[in-house]
Each structure stands twice: as structure tokens, then as C-alpha cells.
Structure 1
Amino acid sequence: MKFKQIIAVLTVATLAFTGCEKANIDVDTTPQNGSAIGEVSGVWAKGSVHEIKGDIIIPEGKSLTIEEGVTVLMDVTAKPEIVIKGNLYSLGTDANPVKFTVSDVYRTAENKFGKLWGGILAAPTCAELVLDHTILEYGGATTSDASTSVKMGLYKAVAGENLPALWFSNVNGKLIVQNSVIRNFQEDCSYIEGGKVIFANNVFYTTGVTGGEAMNFKSGCLADLAYNLVYSCNTNAFKLSNSGDRNPQAYIIAYNNTMINTGWRRPTAKGGSVWLEATVRADLYNNLFANTRFGIKRDPKKLEDNRSKNDNNWYYGFDQTTVNQFQVGSNDIVPGGANDVRGTKAGDNDPKFVNYPLSNSEVSPDFNTSWDFHLQGNSPALTKGTTNFTRHHKAGITTANGITYTSPEPSTFVGAYGTKL
């Protein structure tokens, strides 16, 4: 027998407007391989707390809007998955982000790589997904035969896979991830298999136990990736591939990103900074590589599209081992442009961060939020960027709720941050 229950705790007093649909969650409490299945839609009101006791599903043709300051609290026993067949709009603010998390008692060093809930999994029917000022943390659980995603044929649809924080799979869909933080995940932060995409002004850190990329893109994507900070992901900051045989061909434009210490915790050919493969078309400008393992690297057996370009990228290594690994002519490093800054000696081209110890251990996944990766006023990296290229979504991507998201303008500085204002 099925019973309906409300598992969302709504802070009604914070409703700032009238006429909104109340955020009910319809749950089938009949056990199904140890998990509850629930359908959610409507509006989760500003400042409310929602305890997710089992897998939840946004049905096809419906939407869930999550307002600023909402906490989505995952049950660490159920390890819920969030399945989106309709649309999701997570709309936090700088002062009041939306947070997908676990209870305080579980946010410990022992659980630094999460695995305490699943991830956000957007089926091919998901037309629009927006994460704005949203924090995703402590997820990335491993699937089993009982997992909803496996039963529904989502993501890789097999038991034993570590779920990404975010999976999106509609080549005709719209995906916006901006001003957000993804941290404390077991493997990939994102695994994107299609869509018109903007990833901008995000931060990724403490992710990947034995594998995992910060941003993993496959065929079907037309993506602008800009002003993202990636710190010590296990494998690559960007894995860019045209695998999957979807249309359109993957074409990724990544510019003004800062990568720190990436790739050192996976000492294989793929562990690095940017990995290109399988005829992906990729244009890479104004990116700052500091103490990363390798630079822009290709799969020599499955090359990138020969129209790909990269220039005005900046490379820094505190020690000679690091500097040697990003030299063109070794390690399948992709040749850059005439305006790259790539020294040959340890310590060449210090970007002069405001507050970061460049001697910091390259293998440590631990992130200090007091670090500041803005550039000092005398940084030579302030004038080495270019704005002479075209991005996909300069005109913007407009969602059904009437909001237009535009990929940001490139800057004449290198990296994700210029000087502090």
C-alpha cells in the first residue's frame, strides 16, 4: 500500500511572494531494494530545509525550483540519488547559496571524499538544468544493482560505478553551472554528454580518490568553460572528448581558468591538467597552470580535431620535475601558440597569487578557503591574455523561466581571477 508523506520541512515564514506552489514531496514508502522512490516538483521556498530519505525524481514535463538558502539534506544511510527527468533550477545567491549536503556530524576529514549520497543525474528528457550559487558536497556514492540509476539505465547503468556530482545527457538541452562549488566527491565532479553548456565562476576541490575529473565532456556538447578554479583534482581539470558518437561534435571553448596541483594523485598517462581525445574540437586560451601535472595533453592514439587551438596560456612549476612535464615535445603535450608563457626552469613565471604557498604539496587534496588566487598588482600574468576569439554563448542561453545566462567575456589577464577589486 502506498502512503503519501511530506518529507520537506518548509520555512513558510520565509515565503517572499504569493501564489507559489507549495513544495510537497510525494513518496512511495514501499521498500524497493532498500530505497524509497519519490516524485518532487514545484518550489522549495527560500531558507527551507529538505531531508531526503530516499531517491527523488523530478518527473518528465515538471520542474523543481529551489530558492536561495535552501538546504537539501541527504540521508547517509539511504545515500539518495537525485534523478531529473524534467527540469531543475537551483537558484542560490552569493550570500545564501543552495546546499546539497549531509548532516554536520558526517562532514569530517574521514569523509573528505564523500560517498555519502549519489549525485544529480539528468536523464535525456531533462531540457534545462541550472545550478547557480549552489554547493554540492560529500556525494559520489557507488552504484549497486538496486540503484535507481542502474534500473532506469542512467549514467553508465551498471553496478560498481562511482557517481559524479552532476551528469547531463540531453544533446538538445541547456545546462548552466555558475558561481557554484563542487567538493568532497569520490570521483568525477561532472560528466556531460550533450547540450548547450556554460560552466563559469565555479570552484572544484577535494575530489577524486583514485580517479575523476573536475569537468568531463563528451560528444554532443557545445560548451563555454570560463573563470573556474580547479584545485588538486585526482586526474584532469578538463577531460575533453568526442566519444559517444552524438551530434553535434563536441566543441569546447575553455578560457580564463586557473588550475592548481591537478593530476598528481593519479600517476598514469591520463593524470594531468587538460586531456584531449577522440576528435574533440577544443579552443583553450588564457588558462593558468600552476604546479599541475603536464599541461594540455593529447591521446596519441585518438587525436583531437586538427582545428583545435590554444594560445596565451601560462605555465608555472615550483620544481624542475613539474616544469619538465609540461614541455612541448615530451609526454604528448600539445604545442601551444606564440603567446604562451612556458619557462624551462623551476620558478620561472611566478604568477604572483595574492595568498597561496607555491611550495604547497602537489599531492595534498586539502583546500584552505583562506587562499586567494587573485593576482597581485605587479603580476606579469595581468597582461598576457587575449580577447580575440569567439565563444559559443555570447548571445546567451535563455531558459523557460525567462532568465538569460551569458558566457562571460574573456579577459586580458590570465587565469580565473585578476586583481582584487
Structure 2
Amino acid sequence: MKIKQLFAALAISAITFTGCEKANIDADTSSSDGSAIGEISGVWAKGSTHVIEGDVIIPEGKSLTIEEGVTVLMDTVAKPEFIVQGNLYALGTAENPIKFTVNDFYKTDAHKFGKMWGGILAAPTCAELVLDHTILEYGGATTSDGSTSVKMGLYKHKAGENLPALWFSNLNGKLIVVNSTIRNFQEDCTYIEGGKIIFANNTFYTTGVTGGEAMNFKSGCLADLAYNIVYSANTNALKLSNSGDRTPQAYIIAYNNTMVNTGWRRPSAKGGSIWIESNVHADIYNNLFANTRFGIKRDTKAPEDTRSVISNNLYYGYDQTTVDQFQPSKDIVGGKNEVIGTKAGDNDPKFVNYPVANPVLSPDFSLTWDFHLQSGSPALGKGITTFTRHHAAGITVNGLVYSSPAPATYIGAFGTN
């Protein structure tokens, strides 16, 4: 191990870092560990480690494929941005996920909300982006006037912005995020401004110091969001908006997701589970809300499209304050066939292993928790399956077909074990 580390260190020190330098990892030299800065493309081979010493860019018209088990290690001094002008395919497996991360030394409570690298920023020229069995963690750095993203006019293209884990902005692009985990970020996990999109079977937790959503969608998005678990996002699990007035109108179909303890660290009262606004077309089915601040909440000054449908969702609150904030009102959106009570403790979802008796837990997530449902859960058999999804027939990306999963007859992201 010491010899391997020595060679890695020598490889890093041998590079002269200049603003437009091409990385030493490309299609011809990608079979082993290495370091990268500047332009990157080609294949990063299974099980390799790539140290990102500065901002990297996948050029327009080129692609980077990251194979299973690859570690993308970010330099915490440089705080790199991972910019995608071409295509990115991160193809991990359950046994060997891909990790965009930092050295284990920095994974402490002092760095709980990351800020140690930028994020994956996909420019409008990025046609295809896939994150499959990929972990993004400990990022969300704040931009400065010298940031590459600011100079290139990406994301919000100004200094002082906390970068999301993932930004995507091609109205005609294809974005697939499945079987992945986003954790330990300063603000938003994702900020999506267009494309044909599937988000399925993902986990989001320990995100947002003073604000931020797990999944944030704007105009131009046609998205299916299913079987995701969101724990303790600072504000909302989902923010659904048609802001930006891009074509097509944002149409988000969110079904069979589980949201737990979201919104309770938000210093003000805006949202806490799903927020809908600005004429977004939002269809929301089979979602499970446990100890979230508020039910589905609208911006009363800029409400959702009247064609939106909300149906067959379940709400559980351990205390009366939480239950009261679920009740339909001017700003809390009611739905059809909802499983919603009026008293504290109504509709306990009977998770296999999660302490529902405390509605305001810390943002720390335990991998021992199990959000599957026990026999007798009121969420079983209460889901609806008759609605239409955008991408049931699939989206073809890089020769592979990704389909949005079929809805379940239960409510939430997980049925029984």
C-alpha cells in the first residue's frame, strides 16, 4: 500500500497545473490510477482511483465513462468543479458503487455538510448524463469570481452561490439518476433545468446547513421520480416549479417516494415536504410523509397548474403540531384518497426499523434504519397504479434503455421485506 501511495504522489507532483491543461487520464491511459485537471474524456477503468487536483471539464462532443468501483477523490484545497460539456456515464454496481468523495480524514462532524468540492455541473451542451449506483458526498463549495463555473456562465453564474451536487440544464438532454446516494452537501442536492429525466431508487440525507432541497426541478423538465428516500433535507424533499418559463412546461410525476423528518431544520416556515409553485404541472401519488414539516405546500401567490393531481398519499406525525400542519388549507394542498388523520400518531407506517417517536431528529442518518413496511402497515394496499408515467417505455442513453419503474400498490418507496 505504501508503494502504491508513493507512485500516486509522484504522479500528482509530475503534473504542471495550467488552466487549460489536458488531464493525464484519457482514453489511452485510463487503465490505472492517476490524477486529473483540465480536459478529461475516455474511460476510467473498474476499481481505479482518480485524484482531481483542480477543475475538470468533459469537452463538448466527448464522453467520459466511469466504470464500477472507481473512486473520484477530490482535492479539498482546490475544491474542484466537475464540469460536463459533453457526456458523462457513471456506471457503478450495488457491489461496487462509484464514489465522488474526499479523503476519509475529512469525514467528520466538522465537515458534515461538505463544502469541500463543487459538484457535477452539466452545461446546456451536455446531451446525456447517467449516475447509476453512484455516491456523491461532501461537496457543495461556494463559488467565487475565480470559479470556472462563474467564468463559463454555468449554474447561477455568480460568486457566492453554494453549488449543488448535480446541475443539469439541457432542455433536450437525457438525465438518469438511479440507485444512487447524495449526502453531506451544503445546500441543494440537485438543481435541474430541463431534460427527459428519471430519478429512481435513490437516497438523500444529511444535506442543507440553512436551506436546500433534495430534488429541485424547474421549467423544461419532464421527470418521473420514484422509489426515492429523503431523510432530513433542510427544506423540502421535492421543490417542483415552472420558473424560468422554458419549453416544455415542467411536468413532474412523483410517486412511491418516502420522506422522513424533512424541513424541521429550516429556520423559517417555507415548505418541508413537497413544495409546488409557478404553474408547475405536478402529479403526486403514493408518497409517504413521516414527521415532515407540512404536507404538500403551494406558493399561494404563484400556485401550481390546475391540471395537477394529488392522490393516495399517506401522512404520519408523531406529535399534534406535525399532524395539524398536514391538514388541507389555503396553502396546504389536499388530495383524493389520502391516508391522513387528525390526531397525533394516526397512520403509523410501521417501518421495520426507524424511531418514529421522535419527530425532530438530527440530520445524521443511520444505515441500520429500514424503511420497509411491517405487516399491518396502513400504507399497504393503498397505492394507485393506474396513472401514466412519462418514461414507462424508456429513455435510450448510450445504447442502454432506462425505464421509470412501475408504481406499486403500497404507499412509499418500500413495501414489505
TM-score by length of 1: 0.92
Matched with 1:417 is: 414
**CA contact 1:24–1:41 (8 Å) conserved in 2:** no
Secondary structure of 2:380 counterpart: helix
CA distance in 1, matches of 2:58, 2:244: 26
CA offsets, 1:75-119, max 9 Å, x none? 000000000000000000000000000001011111110000000
SS at the partner of 1:322? helix
- Partner of residue 354, structure 1: 352
Q: What is the alpha-carbon distance in structure 2 between the residues aligned to residue 297 and residue 6 of structure 1?
A: 46
Distance 2:17 2:351 in 1: 57
The residue that corresponds to 1:324 in the other structure is 324
Q: Is the contact made by 1:265 and 1:363 (CA closer than 8 Å) also made in structure 2?
A: no
Aligned to 2:335: 336
1:376 corresponds to: 374
Q: How far apart in 2 are the matches of 1:201 and 1:2?
A: 39
Aligned to 1:279: 279
Q: Name the CA distance, whole Å, in 2 between partners of 1:363 and 1:2.
A: 44
Aligned to 2:12: none
> Which of 397, 403, 410 matches 1:406?
403
* Structure 1 alignment gaps of length 5 or more: 11-19, 30-35
SS at match of 1:53: strand
1:303 matches 2:303: yes
Structure 1: how far apart are the matches of 2:162 and 2:23?
30
Once the two structures are superposed, what CA deviation does each residue of 1:120-143 show, in whole Å capped at 9, x if it has no partner? Answer: 000000000000000000000000
Q: Secondary structure at the match of 1:283?
A: strand
Question: Post-superposition shift, 1:235?
Answer: 0.4
Runs of 4+ in structure 1 deviating by more than 6 angstroms, as ranges, are: 1-5
* Shift, 1:364, TM fit: 1.2
CA contact (8 A) 1:235 1:266 kept: yes
Distance of 1:277 and 1:271 partners within structure 2: 11
**CA–CA distance in structure 1, aligned partners of residues 173 and 321 of structure 2:** 42
What corresponds to 1:390 in structure 2?
A: 388
Who is 2:176 aligned against? 176
* Structure 1 contact 24–40 (Cα < 8 Å) conserved: no
CA distance in 2, matches of 1:309, 1:286: 12
Match of 1:99 in 2: 99
Alignment-derived partner of residue 23 in structure 1 = 30
CA distances 1:259-298 after superposition (whole Å, capped 9, x unpaired):
0000111142323100000000000000000000001110
TM-score, normalization by structure 2: 0.93
- The residue that corresponds to 2:217 in the other structure is 217
Write the letter of the residue equivalent to 1:396: G
1:73-92 → structure 2 map (5 Å cutoff): 73-92=73-92
Distance 1:6 1:87, change over 3 A: closer
Unaligned regions of 5+ residues in structure 2, if any? 1-15
Hey, what's the Cα distance between the residues in 1 that align with 2:29 and 2:173? Answer: 27
Deviations 1:362-416 (A, max 9, x none): 25101011000000122121110000100000000001x2100000000000000
Task: Report the CA distance between 1:24 and its aligned residue.
Answer: 8.8
Secondary structure, counterpart of 1:79 in structure 2:
coil
| Residues 397/380 of structure 1: CA separation in 2 closer, same or farther (3 Å cut) | same
How far apart are the structure 2 equivalents of 1:211 and 1:149?
Answer: 22
- Residue by residue over 1:297-328, the C-alpha shift from the partner in whole angstroms, topping out at 9 and shown as x without a partner, is 10000010000001000000000010001101
The equivalent of 1:16 in structure 2 is: none
Contact 1:56 1:81 in 2 (8 A): yes
1:255–1:410 contact (8 Å) kept in structure 2: yes
Task: Check whether the contact 1:239–1:275 (CA below 8 A) recurs between aligned residues.
Answer: yes
What pairs up with 1:38-187 in 2 under 5 angstroms?
38-187=38-187
Cα 1:190–1:283 shift into 2, 3 Å: same
Taking a change above 3 Å as real, the CA distance of residues 62 and 394 of structure 1, as seen in their structure-2 partners, is: same
Aligned residues between the structures = 399
1:14 is aligned to none
- Contact 1:112–1:206 (Cα < 8 Å) also in 2: yes
**Post-superposition offset of 1:193:** 0.1
**1:187-202 to 2 correspondences below 5 Å:** 187-202=187-202
Q: Which amino acid aligns with 2:358?
A: N
Q: Which residue of 1 aligns with 2:13?
A: none
Q: Secondary structure at 1:383's aligned position in 2?
A: coil
Tell me how far 1:359 sits from its aligned partner.
1.8
> 2:30·2:43 contact (CA, 8 Å) conserved in 1?
yes
CA distance in 1, matches of 2:207, 2:145: 25
Q: What CA RMSD, in Å, does the superposition of the two structures yield over aligned residues?
A: 1.9
- Residue identity matched to 1:234: N
Offset of residue 2 of structure 1: 7.9
CA–CA distance in 2 between the matches of 1:21 and 1:282?
A: 46
What is the CA-CA distance between 1:62 and the residue it aligns to? 0.2
What are the residue-to-residue correspondences of 1:201-280 with 2, within 5 Å? Answer: 201-280=201-280
Q: Is the alpha carbon distance of 1:122 and 1:38 closer, same or farther for their aligned partners in structure 2, counting shifts above 3 Å?
A: same
Aligned to 2:5: none
Distance 2:37 2:24 in 1: 12
Kept in 2: contact 1:374–1:417 (CA 8 A) = yes
* d(CA) in 2 for partners of 1:118, 1:103: 15
